[in-house]
Structure 1
Amino acid sequence: MTVRAWLAGDEFDLQDLATYFAAGHVVVAKEGDEYYLGATALDERTDEPIQQVAARLLTQVNGVGRVMDFGFRPVQLTGRYNDGDAVIVVVDAHFGARGRLTASAVVVGDEQATPTSPPPGPMYLESATRVGEIAEVLALMGQPVRFGWVEMYKVFEIIEERVPKAVRQSRLGNHYR
Structure 2
Amino acid sequence: MQFKPALLAGKEVKIYVWNKVRGVNKDPSFAKFEPSVSSELEIYFNEEHQVQNRLFHYPEEPATLYLTDLRKSDQEQYTIVISYVDYVGTPTEYIIELEVQDVCFEKPKTVDKCAVTTCYTGDNGVLKTPDDREETVNGLKVINVCENRTTGNYYCCNAKGRCIVQGE
Please indicate, yes or no, whether the TM-score normalized by the shorter chain is above 0.5: no
Query: Which protein shows a greater Rg?
Result: 2
TM-score (norm 2): 0.30
* Bigger relative CO (Cα 8 Å, ≥ 6 apart): 1
TM-score normalized with structure 1 length:
0.29
Structure with bigger helix share is: 1
